[in-house]
Structure 1
Amino acid sequence: MDNMVITIIVGVVALAVGFFIAKALEKSSATAAIVGAKKEADRIIKEATSNGETLKKDKMLQAKEKFIELKSEHEKVINSREKKMNDAEKRTRDKESQVSSELARNKKLNAEIDNKKKNYDERLVFIDKKQSEVEKMHRSQIEQLEVISSLSAEDAKAQLMETLKEEAKTGAMAFVQNSIEEAKMTAQQEAKKIIITTIQRIGTEEAVENCISVFNLESDDVKGRIIGREGRNIRAIEAATGVEIIVDDTPEAIILSCFDSVRREVARLSLHKLVTDGRIHPARIEEIVKKTTKQIEEEIIEVGKRTVIDLGIHGLQPELIKAVGRMKYRSSYGQNLLQHSREVAKLCGVMASELGLNPKLAKRAGLLHDIGKVPETETEIPHAILGMQWAEKFGEKPEVCNAIGAHHDEIEMTSLLSPIVQVCDAISGARPGARRQVLDSYIQRLKDLEEIAFGFGGVNKAYAIQAGRELRVMVESEKVSDEKAAQLSFEISQKIQTDMTYPGQVKVTVIRETRAVNIAK
């Protein structure tokens, strides 16, 4: 126990002694650090003082350089301003000297003008004096002449004028008479020369439109299929197209007869499609005829476009192009209307060129002069007037419209194109074989037959067939009964007998058909 106490006491004493020793060492170390810090601070202060002096000297040197630079720039600006002021003063002095010279020159000019004005006034006075002297001498001479001739000046003047009038009149009449005689001699020769030259330069084929078309077959077996059971196919074709189909002993051919070439073409193309397809029955026939009719309408437009392009005519309205295309399927006195119009257009272009007129405008008038012959519906208006109305409606020039309307003298000619179109129309139609008067009257008779049928109620379609010996009339079953159909046939025949002149006899056939159509959905 005592040892433990002693040990504790010794440890405490040792601890105290160590504490005091550590404190003493710490104090000596702090003193050394303070001394080192003071030395370092003195060194830093000394170094900072040295750097500050150096920086101060540098800044002063830079300030001096900047001052010198600014001073130099300031001197440059001052010199520049002085130079500008000197230049301005110089220009001012030059202007002053120029103004002074101008003033001197103006003074000199004013002096010259004053001198010239003075001379001019003097000359005017002199001229007035001379003029008064001349007038005085002239009056004196007139008085002397009046005394010598025993006539006053007015009477002598009147006699002289009368004599001159008579001489001038006689000379003018002689000149006019000679000019008229010379014009008569040369005009006829020139006109013949122009017409002959025009005809020689235009060569076209003579085309005569017929009223029948021949449809060739590969074999006679096809005829039976076209006729159908109990003739139902051929009746369906005739009813849909309005064309009479003649099946006779002619080998491998059947004949399509109709005065309307559009109907004939529809029937021919429809037969070709039916024979090629092989399915020939009434429903198929109606379908093919409708498609072919639409195809013909498209072809009409295409023919019109090709025609105007070939002739170099631009800006024609679509309706007029369609009318031009329809002329392909029309005839005038047996002459194809489109070929006739193309020929007239070329003739007009050549003749207008020979006469120094506009050939393009002349071609346009020549091509359109007969468009009134192809209306979609029949009308009583003369074709020349109808064509003129169409041309005015679709914005053609007044010269073209007048040429169309006046080429048959329905209206007065107001432009030089009108007689040209009239002459070229006569040239085209007067060629040997170009036209047949009988065909036109025959076609008109067939049209009149159809028009009589359409004058009765309930008539849907009417076709004149067999060269006008038969009128086939299709009626609407809802409006016309079987008894009414028989009565209608009799009334139409009596109307034809009363109103028309025709050779032989005309058979009137009224067809009434009832259809029931439903659609399975």
Structure 2
Amino acid sequence: MVSTAIAVLIAVVVGAITAVLGFFGGQSYRRKVAEQKLGSAEEEAKRIINDAIKTAQQKKKESAIEAKDELFRLKAEADKEIKDRRSEISRQEHRLDQKEENIDRKTNALEKKEEDQRKRAELIEARLAEIEQMREREVEKLEFIAGLSQEAAKEMLLARLDEELTHEKALKIAAYETQTKEDADKLAKELITQAVSRCAADHSSEITVSVVTLPNDEMKGRIIGREGRNIRALETATGVDLIIDDTPEAITLSSFDPVRREVARMTLEKLIADGRIHPARIEEMVEKCRREMDATMKREGERAVMDVGVHGLHPDLVKLIGRLKYRTSYGQNVLNHSMEVAYIAGLMAAELGLNVNMAKRAGMLHDIGKALTHEIEGSHVGIGVDLVKKYKENPAIIHAVEAHHGDVEPSTPLAFIIMAADAISAARPGARRENVENYVKRLEDLEAISSSFPGVETSYAIQAGREVRILVKPEVVSDDRLTILAHDIVKKIEDELEYPGQIKINVIRENRATDYAK
């Protein structure tokens, strides 16, 4: 490649010289000079060519030497890397050999342990079989010595264990009962005492008949009318029975519906004051008194909710609340009772940090169903729940109304407050009146339930049925079973009887030793 370049260069130089000589060929001097220069140029060209050839050969030798050096270097690096890798592989193989040796040793040790365990298991099974045979022989000896079979001995031990557990259970029940009473009674008494003492609601015992005073006995004849037409018209228009007997200057009005009875009383008083008593006037006066009664019930409802501090009730509910003024339960006025429950519930809610307005509202509405029990079939609880649902009351209030007599299990603090407030108002001495038959039947039921348990000798219902004293047979009922028996009696009374307030159960066990000195 270098020789070709030098040849080209020489050709160019020669061509240039030839051109110059041709240009100046006419002149000999110039020709000589050109020939001399041409000779010098040829010599210079040869020298340059020789130098170029030498330089190229030198470069070629140097490149060959560098290539050999690079080749030797790469080979040395490759040999070193191969040597390192072989060393690493040797180390890994050595480690694997060690691991295999360790695994073999552990496997041998495990096999040896398994063999030892198998031998020990066989030994243990043999020992267990020997122990079982010894136990059977011991049991036979014990049965022979004690004169009891194994089943009889088990029954004896279970009986003793049952007695011990009964004793421990009675002790724990008594301890829990004492602690619970100390904690619960303290708080309950504080709440109830504050609620009752701060509640100044009056209540009076009412009955299902009304007596109208007459100015004289001659008025009885005018009220009866010719052939009884006036009294028939009055009874037909009002739905109330008029009882005219030998009571001087008085007529008794009797009806299961207190609203009708009140309308009849107002009508009769207005007729007596007016003096004009005949069927047409009676019908006119009855209609007028009914309108007045509706207005009165509305006013009474508004007054009651205003006094209690309950706002936002539907007008129909307010009217029904006023209707409760003429409804009684065991002689207790239901409107006054509802207001009292609202007061007590509000005070309890305040002490417990609950919503006072919600508690008052629920207390005011808890017996709302009693306003319609004479018109709609069903219990006052079911009717009341339908009413509060109809007028979109709060679900918590609906639940409190539904649960205040235990028809459903109470699940909110508000429901428990309404139950307690209702019981407090109903159970207060003098709040309600019971007839003799119901009173005697309740006492008899209490004594019958108490006497139905085995070991009870006799029972006595005292303090108007608020306490039962039960005498048990000491040879049948032990001291440990007294607490359990009292709990069983309480549960049966709660399940089978309905009663206001609470009933105290006293179970008495007495041992007497009698002897005579002769």
Taking structure 2 as the reference length, what is the TM-score of the superposition?
0.48
Taking structure 1 as the reference length, what is the TM-score of the superposition?
0.48
